[in-house]
Structure 1
Amino acid sequence: MKAPVSWIKEYVDLPAEVTTEALTDRLTALGLKLEAIETTGEGISGPLVVGQVLTMEPEPQKNGKTINWCTVDVGDANGTGEPQGIVCGAHNFKPGDKVVVVLPGGVLPGGFEISARKTYGHLSAGMICSARELGLGEDHEGIIVLPADAPAPGTDAREALGLGEEVIEFEINPDRAYALSLRGIAREAALGFGVPFTDPAQRDVPPANEDGYPVRIADPEGCPVFVARTITGFDPAAPTPAFIVDRLKAVGVRSISLAVDITNYVMFELGQPIHAYDRAKLQGPIVVRRAESGEKLTTLDDVVRELSPEDLLITDDSGPIGLAGVMGGASTEISATTTDLVIEAANFEPTSIFRTERRHKLPSEASKRFERGVDPLLPSLAADRVVELLVEYGGGTVDEGVTVAGGFPTPRTITIPVDLPARISGIDIDAATTVANLEAIGARVTVEGDALTATVPTFRPDLNDPYDLVEEVVRIVGYTEVPSVLPRRATGRGLTRAQRLRRRIGRTLAGAGLVEVVSFPFVGEQDFEALGLPADDIRRRTVGLANPLSAEAPAYTTTVLPGLLQAAARNLGRGQDGVALFETATVAFPTDQAAPIYGVDRRPSDEELEKLLEAIPTQPLHLGVVLAGERERAGWWGEGRQAGWADALEVVRGLSAELGVTLEVANATLMPWHPGRCAVVRVDGEELGHAGELHPNVCKAYGLPARSAAIEIDLDVLMSRTREVVPGPVFSTLPVAKEDVALLVDDTITVAAVEAALREGAGDLLESLRLFDVYAGEQLGAGKKSLAFALRFRAPDRTLTAEETAAARDAAVAKAVELTGAVQR
């Protein structure tokens, strides 16, 4: 919202010492954020004067262009008093017109210096200026022609052009709709400096009667009140007064015609959008209603719009003639022949206007105000202001008929303890200050005992509860007055067990070289197809979103892998040689219980609350890991290595070791993992998740390197089995006994199964067990592999003898033979 300082000062008597910077600082403190301060005509220096055209001789050129060789009276501004010779390419003026002339030595916006120069065979000493050349607008088709009563030739043109005006641009928050007007900004200025405010809307208006233009409201919720006034005998050729043109230009609106300019002027002045109809084009009474299926409307921008049944319309007997609160229709548009006008000033429901504007992608100055909430008492006042200006500058007669359809709302009241602002803010605010500040914003206040009741002004729809009143009092006193008080020590007991465990998990994974990512938890069918999930897979049963961010991802995910795989592919595609990513996030599995919908007028009963809780989806916390590309870098030390399924299992094992959990690993077949390189991980017999190499089709679908690996496990299950304190390692001074064994097994036997058998057979003397070699070859036979393990034995109280070590080794091998059918090599 742009506001010329002179326009603000018309309604508020600011102290002489208040500068524009001081004004903007105070208004910013009150909630109107400063965007910029502009000065009209900034960048213009040197002689800029009023000139009067004495002669103009058209001279056709060889290039097909016709220029005018003009002599212009510039008074004594050129130092000689003689007419100035100037070449001009525009044709919208004639001898006798007063124009704006920049003389040699002047500088125009953009650093464009003016000098006497020879052009088209003449010495042109200056320039006759257009609006664009002066930085006053985009019009470059013709030069500026001043009114006949403009100052005499040679006079400085800055005042005639309204240059030097300071214009403040504010960012207006949605809850401050009243500040989208000079009335609102001036009220805030008066509030900030404690000076009187002259309300431009304060006026006596004629009462409603039966003689006004007929209006019927068929949708009172969408349009609470509609005011109509009529003017006849209006002069459509009457010029717009210069001060209105200048002020509209300052707020960013170009002048169109007197009738349109005045409706725009009053909108910026009071904040009430106005629309004018050509009465001769209206057919029957005006009706405000919702659109019917199949209706269309050609709006003022000459676009034919398909209407929705949710659109609020202004109609007559011919059908729709305007989108209420957004834009009028072309069929009743004011033209150069319009002599009779019907003025509309109405109030519309904000949500309806917001949805219509978004639906038709048709933002306007009117909709910007209506969608935030316009003062419902303004229509009569604004309509009267418009007809006053139209008659004053355009002639004509105001009809005695005054139409007021609908009704005005009853103001709301809010009751608060008198000391509430002081208690909430910590500022020493007495009762008198509270009452004075609320009255300053336009509220009527009564005090009874320790309670205060404020009747909220109708132009403040944002004031709805006691704490809104507290905010109003405190912002006027000043937020800088809020004392600095050290917060009390938190009464909590620190992090919860789950929070501590999640941090341990994150540190462990980071220590293993993994980077945490956060991805959107939304999926669609294309994600499940990319993962290769069967049609009956439980992960395809999702919780749908009522308002998804994207139609392609309308559901909450049941697996964290889609987002992780996309992040991995994106990083690899941007030049990373390898990625190791992890994410901890909740997934959601729907229940069979439909969620009931209760009203908000009361708290649900215990039975109703139980039904609500039953309908909440199951939301376990999952950990996902993706390893793709280079896992170990190549260098002078040797060759690098690509990530694979073994790395995924090692991440799971490292995590379990950190959390003091013993894992059970077995073969599994589950998409999106490779059927031969997928492991199911269990804890105490309960499934924890899966880890292994991704299916080739999945790698291809996401653009990942072949043999990329992934993990997805249920952290809730893992953390429920985690020890709070994991015992540290035990060190012994006694020597370790080393034994290596090689076992020949079928290639269908997993390493985990052989390892478990060896541990069981070795007994308590076994300190560690490690697979150090896997071999398969023709000499072993088809379907066979050799597994070599390093066994380390140690007793806590003695040095083991060779016989004890051998016995433990043999017992381990015997158990492996028994359980897996192994043969010792």
Structure 2
Amino acid sequence: MQFSEHWLRTLVNPAIDSAELERLLTMAGLEVEEATPAAPAFTGVLVARILSAEQHPNADRLRVCRVDVGAAEPLQIVCGAPNAAAGLLVPCATVGAVLPGDFKIKPAKLRGVESAGMLCSARELGLSEAHEGLLSLPEDFKPGTSLRDALLLDDTLYTIKLTPNRPDCLSLLGIAREVSALTGAPLAEPKSETVAASHDATRAIDVEAKDACPRYCGRVIRGIDPSRKTPDWIVQRIERCGIRSISAVVDITNYVMLELGQPMHAFDTAILSGSLRVRWAKEGEALTLLNEQEVKLDAKTLVIADDEKTLAMAGIMGGDRSGISDETTDIFVESAFFSPAAIAGRAREYGLATDSSHRYERGVDYALPARAIERASELILAICGGNAGPVVEVLSEEHLPRRSPVVMRMARASQVIGIPLDAETVATVLSRLGGELTVTADEVRLLPPSWRFDLEIEQDLIEEIARIYGYEKIPEVMPVGKMAMLPQPESRRTPMALRAKMAGLDYQEVINYAFVEEAWERDFCANKDLIRIANPIASQLAVMRSSLLGGLVGNLITNQKRRASRVRLFEIGRCFKRDPAAKPVAGYDQTMKIAALAWGPSDPEQWGIATRKADFFDIKGDLERLVANPALEFVPLAHPALHPGRAAEVRIGGRAIGWIGELHPTWVHDYDLASAPVAFELELDAVMPRVLPTAVAPSKFPPMIRDLALIVEATRPVAELLDVLRSAPEPLMQSVEVFDVYQGRGVEPDRKSVAFRIRFQHTERTLEDREVDAAVEVLVGLARARLGAELRS
């Protein structure tokens, strides 16, 4: 919506400048997208009357003009415009004037004749592109008046961006109401005098679609003078609102639309046959519009027709047989309320965008048609002459919009806005909206005016109070929230602490999508009960993951393609599988897991360590450091993703919490990996507990170390031996560690030798050899009794 500030200030004139007006409208929700001057800057241009225009003695195309600029003596100005003639009122740039483009007027001599200024065309003043001759000014202008004052050129054109719920501001009156409400400045509404009928001619109106057109008004005006020109003040106002001047009657209907917000149309009664009908179009009915576009109408399009033909698309655009011409003397002026539901979207379906449809589809004041037709009649009679007939109105009250009272609680308004509100302040603010207002200490009841479609619920009134009171007046109060440090059990780590631990182990964190390729679930998890995504973001990411391994392998492939020689990654994320008993999402278990993958050298390349590939035991050591729980166990495991014999189930206290192992050779080959990575995956909740250390006073006495080699079956896990030895009821034993596993010469082929280093120490005295020897015998006996182990000689 574009409008002229000068026009607006004829309706409401607050004591603020243009910049403040722009800020005020924007802060109130009527966002000003652009504010441009109505004319470029220039100075020293006056209204002048040409007193005489004589032929230049030395040039055929020049005239020597005597010009009255309101000074004591006329000026002599040489002019080359073809329309320069005595009696014409034109702009005159006097000596010292500065025109657009920083063009300065100086005394000059043209072909030997002195010239004290310049008579100007519209283009030279930057008012339009017209340059065929001098700009002709209205006869009522007084010579010597500043042209900027005479033509109101010190005007600002505002373009505001309206939200769809504020169609009342698609008019100067609507914007003026807003400015009046925001500033408290008095509102001078356009006066619409009732035009008395001077003849009884009418035209019958038949509204068949009453739900789409509950109110239709019309009036016959006879004997207008089609040759009358639109007054300059109307032309200026509508053109500054972006509408081109066409003819007096059409300009007046456009003027009323801009002023009041009511679209109107004038028909030539000479082309009407019988009564006017408001009906739904017939399927396939043809209509040629005013823009010469021919459209095929459908049955959902509302039209205006007479007894013989279709005249217009109701609320959108007239047909080529509905307009007035230069010979029209009798007109029928219509003004109607069309339901927004009947107009919304119809113009776009036909590739149209009109001022009328823009207003009707958002909502026009349903009480406005009668007032608008009186205003238009008043202007037509004053400008074009003629005689008005009675206004005919067809009304279907049951189909008009209903305005219900809106109730607002004072306490709720204060709570939402954040400031205390009293009844007087609320009454002052809301009374500026119009409508019927009742204010008590506890609540407000407002029956909105007919033009405010957007006031329907309590929140609407609260918004209006904040908007009109002024958002900038609401103090900025920082929210206050009492904060207390939550207890963080020392025995439980946070996911962030686990991330820090993994980073300290030389792993880098990755974050992958929770939806993965179906092949990953099939290969790495043997998952046949996939959770499919109804609308995947990509065709290959079509299922939810049940393991983090697929994402880590995908990251490894990406890094390997980019020539990475060493990759160590970890991820903490949620995995999904079907579980009818799962909560909180019924039917789906959503477990948080932590997984890691290592590939390439065990350590970065350096001079002091020989380069070797990371193996199962490197990653097992990282896992043990991460979990740091003495109850950690590793049990052989068969896993679809892992190498047989190089995979283990991870347990804590006998409960399985995950797995660890080397990727299966099949997948190493199928996924084009240079070598097999090693990975582990654990339940996050099982890793978060921390085993707290117990304070033990160090012994002052030296320890005694014994190395013990036991021979057991080659298939027996070393962990079983460790568990048996550590469970021995031997108080002198401080620790048991494995330092060697041997198979070969001296040991039977189906057996192996496992060597342990055992530390004995007493806190109060030095141990004797016999005590330690006896303890060793106890350990050997226990291993022999439980596992059939033999002491290696």
TM-score, length of structure 1 as denominator length: 0.63
> Do structure 1's residue 620 and structure 2's residue 590 form an aligned pair?
yes
Matched, 1:241 2:231: yes
For the residue of structure 2 that corresponds to 1:434, the secondary structure is helix
State the Cα deviation string for residues 322-345 of structure 1 (Å, max 9, x = none): 6665x4265556365583455343
Inter-CA distance 199–563: structure 2 relative to 1 (3 Å threshold)? farther
Q: Contact 2:572 / 2:593 at 8 angstroms: preserved in 1?
A: yes
Q: Does 1:433 align with 2:422?
A: no
Residue in structure 1 matched with residue 749 of structure 2 by the alignment: none
How far is the alpha carbon of 1:164 from its aligned partner?
0.7
User: Aligned partners of 2:655, 2:154: CA distance in 1, in Å?
Assistant: 83
1:226·1:345 contact (CA, 8 Å) conserved in 2?
A: yes
The equivalent residue for 2:187 is: 197
Counterpart position of 1:349: 340
Q: Counterparts of 1:295 and 1:652 in 2: how far apart (Å)? A: 80
Q: State the distance in 2 between where 1:94 and 1:649 align.
A: 98
Match of 1:402 in 2: 393
Q: Distance in 2 between matches of 1:617 and 1:56?
A: 100
In 1, are the aligned partners of 2:97 and 2:104 still within 8 Å (CA)? yes
Contact preservation (8 Å) 1:520, 1:563: no
Q: How does 1:714-753 map to 2 (within 5 A)?
A: 718-719=684-685, 721=686, 723=688, 727=692
Say if 2:34 and 2:160, in contact at 8 Å, map to a contact too: yes
From the superposition, tell whether residues 680 and 374 of structure 1 become closer, same or farther in structure 2 (CA, over 3 Å).
Answer: farther
| Cα distance in structure 2, aligned partners of 1:576 and 1:282 | 85
* Offset, 1:266: 3.0
SS at match of 1:82: strand
Query: How far 1:165 sits from its partner (Å)?
Result: 0.8
Rounded Cα–Cα distance in structure 1 between residues aligned with 2:555 and 2:319: 54
Contact kept in structure 1, 2:577 and 2:588, CA below 8 Å = yes
Amino acid at match of 2:372: A
Deviation string for 1:308-329 (max 9, x for gaps)? Answer: 88x654364899876665x426
Mapped pair 1:146 → 2:173: no
| C-alpha deviation, 1:86, in angstroms | 4.4
Between the aligned partners of 2:387 and 2:148, the Cα distance in structure 1 is 36
Q: Is the 8 A contact 1:313 1:324 kept in 2?
A: yes
1:455-604 mapped onto 2 (5 Å cutoff): 455-479=447-471, 482=474, 487=479, 489-490=481-482, 501=494, 504=497, 538-539=529-530, 541-542=532-533, 544=534
Structure 2 length-normalised TM: 0.65
In 2, Cα distance between equivalents of 1:210 and 1:659: 99
Which range is displaced more, 661-670 or 186-195? 661-670
- Do the aligned partners of residues 660 and 471 (structure 1) sit closer, same or farther apart at CA in structure 2, a change above 3 Å counting? farther
Whole-angstrom CA distance in 2 between matches of 1:770 and 1:299: 97
| Change beyond 3 A, Cα 1:335–1:727 | farther
Determine the C-alpha separation between the residues in 1 that align with 2:484 and 2:171: 49
Q: Which residue of 2 aligns with 1:779?
A: none
Cα pair 1:289 1:312 within 8 Å, conserved: yes
Please report how far the alpha carbon of residue 95 of structure 1 lies from its aligned counterpart in structure 2 after TM superposition.
Answer: 5.2
Alignment match, 2:175: 185
Say if 1:512 and 1:266 are closer, same or farther in 2 by CA, change over 3 A. Answer: farther
Match of 1:8 in 2: 8
Question: Is residue 454 from structure 1 mapped to residue 413 from structure 2 by the alignment?
Answer: no
Unaligned runs of 5+ in 2: 728-732, 742-753
CA positional deviation for 1:429: 3.6
Deviations 1:588-609 (A, max 9, x none): 98999xxxxxxxxxxxxxxxxx
**Per-residue CA shift, 1:354-394, capped at 9, x if unaligned?**
65567677665555545554433233333443444344434
The answer to whether the 8 Å contact 1:217/1:405 transfers is no
| 1:501-543 per-position Cα deviation (integer Å, ceiling 9, x unaligned) | 555566667777889899998x8xxx8579797999644633x
CA 1:514–1:80 in 2, change beyond 3 Å: closer, same or farther? farther
User: After superposition, what is the alpha-carbon deviation per residue over 1:242-295, rounded to whole angstroms, capped at 9, x for unaligned?
Assistant: 223322343344444445544443333233444566663899754454896x78
Describe the shift of the 1:489–1:677 C-alpha distance in structure 2 as closer, same or farther (beyond 3 A): same
- The corresponding residue for 1:225 is 214
Partner of 2:205: 213
Pick one of 42, 58, 82 that aligns with 2:76. Answer: 82
CA contact (8 A) 2:303 2:311 kept: yes
Give the C-alpha shift of residue 163 in structure 1. Answer: 1.0
Q: What's the CA shift string for 1:75-106, capped at 9, x where partnerless?
A: 3679982333448xxxxx84557665667865
CA drift of 1:7 comes to: 2.1
Partner of 1:314: 303
| Cα deviations by residue, 1:451-470 (Å, 9 ceiling, x for unpaired) | 54321223223323334334
Structure-2 separation of matches of 1:654 and 1:513: 15
Alignment deviations for residues 141-177 of structure 1 (CA, whole Å, 9 cap, x no partner): 8678435526467754323443111344444444444
One-letter amino acid of the structure 2 residue matched with residue 14 of structure 1? P
The answer to whether the 8 A contact 2:638-2:644 is kept is: yes
Residues 32-47 of structure 1 aligned to structure 2 (within 5 Å): 32-42=30-40, 44-47=41-44
2:746 equivalent in structure 1: none
Query: Rg bigger for which structure?
Result: 2
Aligned equivalents of 1:729 and 1:667: distance in 2? 33
The answer as to whether partners of 1:693 and 1:709 remain within 8 angstroms in 2 is: yes
Per-residue deviation at 1:568?
8.2
- In 2, Cα distance between the equivalents of 1:200 and 1:186? 11
User: Partner residue of 1:606?
Assistant: none
Q: State the match for 1:610 in structure 2.
A: none
Local SS of the residue matching 1:75: strand
The CA deviation at 1:762 is: 7.4
Query: What is the root-mean-square deviation of aligned Cα atoms in Å?
Result: 7.1
Q: Which whole-Å deviations, capped at 9, do the CAs of 1:467-507 have from their partners, x for residues lacking one?
A: 4334434444445554666755448885999x995555666
CA contact (8 A) 1:353 1:371 kept: yes
What is the CA–CA distance in structure 2 between the aligned matches of 1:771 and 1:370, rounded to whole Å? 90
Deviations 1:49-77 (A, max 9, x none): 557899899xxxxxxxxxx9564858367
2:590 partner letter:
P
Match of 1:599 in 2: none
CA distance in 2, matches of 1:678, 1:443: 80
1:411 alignment partner, one of 388, 399, 403: 403
Distance in 2, Cα, partners of 1:706 & 1:282: 91
Identity %: 24
Does structure 1 conserve the Cα–Cα contact (< 8 Å) formed by 2:83 and 2:133?
no
Structure 1: any 5+ residue segments left out of the alignment? 58-67, 88-92, 593-612, 774-788, 819-823
In the aligned structure 2, how far is the partner of 1:541 from the partner of 1:156?
A: 77
- What letter matches 2:214 in structure 1? V
- For residues 647 and 287 of structure 2, the distance between their equivalents in structure 1, rounded to whole angstroms, comes to 62
1:378 aligns with 2:368: yes
Alignment-derived partner of residue 777 in structure 1: none
Q: How does 1:24-423 map onto structure 2 within 5 Å?
A: 24-28=22-26, 30-42=28-40, 44-49=41-46, 71=63, 73=65, 75=67, 81-86=75-80, 94=83, 96=85, 107=98, 109=100, 111=101, 113=103, 128-130=120-122, 136=127, 145-149=135-139, 151=141, 156-200=146-190, 211-217=203-209, 220=211, 223=212, 225-231=214-220, 238-274=228-264, 280=271, 285-289=276-280, 312-314=301-303, 316=305, 327-328=316-317, 331=320, 334=323, 336=325, 339=328, 340-349=331-340, 365-366=355-356, 368-370=358-360, 372-395=362-385, 398-399=388-389, 400-404=391-395, 407-417=399-409, 421-422=413-414
CA distance in 2, matches of 1:31, 1:459: 17
Q: Which moved more, 1:725-734 or 1:153-162?
A: 725-734
